[in-house]
């Protein structure tokens, strides 16, 4: 029996059967073309809501609204304390409405309700962290060596209009992660959610208005990435793009942004190594290695998908992870006991099952899982079995390419040097994990890994105060941490001849 706040009815006010609109200049409006698209519930394959499908004209309107709000709207006159206050109000509203937000992401993305509800703490903490930063932005007074008396100092100013393009794997949290630092810095933004998960970012837009953020400061335009995202990335009225998504799309964004030399930050794909030494606490490493991939059904860019296991414990470890995996509860995202839901879309299902076939064809052995999950209860949903492939070699496609599904490739290794070298032998560099009880080994391996995050005896920990981002083709720039807000600021040097 579901308790009331776990009932899907909690979203009935928001999903009232009418199409969900675009948020432009403080108003919810249909797309100029009048078009809509269906948002599908991936657990059932059924239509959840119709959503206005933005086009280039809608991006023009949204950028113009953001531009006005930035250049001469009331937002430009908000003091740092006022920006802080409004972000704190937004945090309170997000906290108060999180049952509904979690349910929207569960229905739209298929993430288990227990997981989406657990994301409340992070979403609220992000808003409060950046609210705190709004009043800490400052320049410096810097001595110079000019002849005569000349004072020089710097001021920090908001960069302008931000285009925030987000993926579908954590729609609400991603939207907040982009919006909070932009607003704290004094920027305005146009947020472009991903096609498979358009709903909770619209709810965030509503809450922004309720919090007292003036019209035009936050705009939300859904629509196809190749149209709406591309138009935003190329738009001359946008000063910065903050993007999270695939490496190929990140590359397209860099090219599109070159037109007006936008500042660009990118958080892209990964094929992260998770390295288990024979001295590790296996009781922790077994669930750690499994959930480093199976959390969110593998749809996390920093998932530890290349599981390197020291040869002496390889067979035992593969067996223990398989036993753990067989006990995972895969099923309806609405059931509070479910640990893995479906994949987000039919496209993703085809992609992941393609990799499952490729692994088998190239000689990997599915120690657990290996196929689509079909049963009467799950009919219509995009479910796959959580899978561990053993006997994988570094050259196999499943060991090289980002799958974005619940698929682990287990690879044996002998020495720490070898594990680091093979762990680094990828174009990516986002996450990485090390499991060992030897402190010196932990430090050496953490130093050797070329990745933006190294988790030792844990995986995937995140905090608003700790930077996250990628080396190599996993991206550029860092999100979270004390310096993130710098990406939304320009530095102006002022010289005053006083002599």
How many Å apart are CA 431 and CA 187, to the nearest integer?
A: 29
Candidates 38-46, 248-256, 358-366, 470-478 — which segment interacts with ligand ADP by CB under 6 A?
248-256
Give whichever of 353 and 457 is closer to ligand ADP, judged by the CB atom. 353
Q: Out of 226, 337, 427, 437, name the contact with ligand ADP by CB under 6 A.
A: 226
Site pattern 137..176 for ligand ADP (x: CB under 6 A): ----------------------------xxx---------
Choices 44-52, 143-151, 221-229, 284-292; region in contact with ligand ADP by CB under 6 A: 221-229
Beta carbons of 423 and 432 less than 8 angstroms apart? yes
**Does 252 engage in binding with ligand ADP (CB under 6 A)?**
yes
Question: Smallest gap, in angstroms, from Cβ of residue 467 to ligand ADP?
Answer: 21
**Residue 269 beta carbon to ligand ADP: minimum distance, rounded to whole angstroms:** 8
To ligand ADP, the closest distance from the beta carbon of 166 in angstroms equals 6
Contacts of 358 (CB under 8 A, 6+ apart): 396, 397, 398
What's the min distance (Å) between Cβ of 165 and ligand ADP? 5
Q: Is the CB of residue 31 less than 8 Å from the CB of residue 50?
A: no
Nearest distance from residue 96's CB to ligand ADP, in Å?
Answer: 27
Q: Which is nearer to ligand ADP, 165 or 293 (CB)?
A: 165
User: What does the angle CA 214 – CA 216 – CA 219 come to, to the nearest 5 degrees?
Assistant: 115
By rule CB under 6 A, what count of residues binds ligand ADP?
A: 16
Catalytic (active-site) positions: 267, 301
Q: Shortest Cβ distance from residue 243 to ligand ADP (Å)?
A: 7
Q: Is 303 among the residues that bind ligand ADP (CB under 6 A)?
A: no
Cβ proximity of 268 and 300 under 8 Å: no
229 in contact with ligand ADP (CB under 6 A): yes
For residues 81 and 264, what is the distance between their CA atoms, to the nearest angstrom?
27
Judge contact between 211 and 251, C-beta under 8 A: no
Strand extents, DSSP E, 362-498:
365-368, 387-390, 407-413, 433-435, 455-456, 468-469, 475-476, 478-479, 489-497
**Which one, 247 or 387, has the nearer CB to ligand ADP?**
247
Residue nearer to ligand ADP on the CB measure, 164 or 434: 164
Region from 68-76, 227-235, 367-375, 419-427 binding ligand ADP, contact rule CB under 6 A:
227-235
How far, CA to CA in Å, does 179 sit from each of 123, 162, 219, 232, 234? 11, 9, 10, 16, 20
Phi, psi of 221 (to 5 degrees): -125, 110
Structure tokens at 334: 């609405």
For residue 203, the minimal CB distance to ligand ADP (Å) is 17
β partners of residue 24: 27
Q: State how far the Cα of 147 lies from the Cα of 30, in Å rounded to an integer.
A: 61
Give the per-residue contact string, 181-200, with ligand ADP (x = CB under 6 A; - = no): -----------x-xx-----
Residue in this structure with the two tokens 């020089």, named with its chain if needed: 152
* Cα(72)–Cα(55) distance, integer angstroms: 26
Unique residue bearing structure tokens 């948020």: 23
222 binds ligand ADP (CB under 6 A): no
- Is 221 a binding residue for ligand ADP by CB under 6 A? The answer is no
Question: Which positions touch ligand ADP (CB under 6 A)?
Answer: 165-167, 192, 194-195, 225-226, 229-230, 233, 245-246, 249, 252-253
């Amino acid at each position: 029996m579901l308790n009331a706040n776990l009932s899907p009815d909690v979203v009935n006010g928001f999903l009232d059967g009418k199409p969900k609109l675009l948020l432009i200049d403080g108003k919810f409006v249909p797309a100029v073309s009048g078009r809509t698209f269906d948002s599908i519930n991936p657990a059932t394959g059924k239509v959840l809501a119709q959503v206005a499908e933005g086009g280039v004209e809608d991006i023009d309107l949204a950028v113009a609204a953001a531009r006005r709000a930035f250049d001469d709207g009331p937002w430009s006159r908000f003091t740092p304390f006022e920006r802080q206050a409004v972000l704190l109000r937004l945090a309170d509203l997000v906290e108060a409405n999180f049952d509904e937000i979690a349910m929207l992401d569960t229905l739209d993305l298929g993430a288990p309700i227990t997981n989406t509800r657990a994301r409340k703490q992070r979403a609220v903490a992000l808003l409060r962290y950046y609210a705190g930063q709004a009043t800490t932005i400052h320049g410096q007074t810097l001595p110079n060596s000019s002849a005569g008396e000349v004072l020089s100092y710097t001021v920090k100013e908001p960069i302008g209009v931000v285009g925030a393009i987000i993926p579908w794997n954590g729609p609400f949290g991603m939207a907040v992660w982009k919006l909070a630092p932009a607003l704290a810095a004094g920027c305005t933004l146009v947020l472009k959610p991903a096609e498979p998960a358009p709903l909770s970012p619209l709810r965030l837009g509503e809450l922004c208005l309720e919090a007292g953020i003036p019209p035009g400061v936050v705009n939300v335009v859904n629509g196809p990435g190749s149209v709406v995202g591309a138009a935003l990335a190329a738009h001359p009225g946008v000063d910065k793009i903050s993007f999270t998504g695939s490496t190929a799309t990140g590359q397209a964004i860099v090219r599109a942004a070159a037109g007006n030399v936008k500042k660009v930050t990118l958080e892209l794909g990964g094929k992260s190594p998770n390295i288990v030494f024979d001295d590790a606490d296996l009781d922790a490493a077994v669930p750690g290695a499994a959930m480093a991939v199976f959390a969110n059904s593998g749809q996390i860019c920093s998932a530890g998908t290349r599981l390197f296991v020291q040869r002496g414990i390889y067979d035992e470890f593969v067996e223990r992870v398989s036993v753990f995996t067989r006990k995972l509860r895969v099923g309806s995202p609405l059931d509070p006991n479910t640990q893995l839901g479906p994949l987000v879309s039919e496209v993703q299902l085809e992609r992941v099952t393609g990799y499952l076939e490729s692994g088998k064809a190239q000689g990997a052995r599915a120690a657990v899982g290996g196929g689509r999950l079909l049963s009467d209860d799950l009919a219509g949903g995009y479910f796959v079995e959580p899978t561990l492939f053993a006997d994988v070699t570094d050259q196999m496609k499943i060991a090289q390419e980002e799958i974005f599904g619940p698929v682990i490739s287990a690879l044996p290794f002998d020495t720490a040097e070898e594990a680091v070298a093979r762990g680094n032998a990828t174009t990516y560099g986002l996450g990485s994990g090390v499991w060992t009880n030897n402190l010196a080994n932990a430090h050496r391996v953490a130093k050797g890994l070329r990745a933006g995050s190294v988790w030792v005896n844990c995986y995937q920990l995140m905090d608003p105060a700790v930077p996250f981002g990628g080396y190599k083709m996993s991206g550029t720039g860092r999100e979270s941490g004390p310096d993130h807000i710098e990406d939304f600021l320009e530095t102006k040097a002022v010289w005053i001849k006083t002599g």
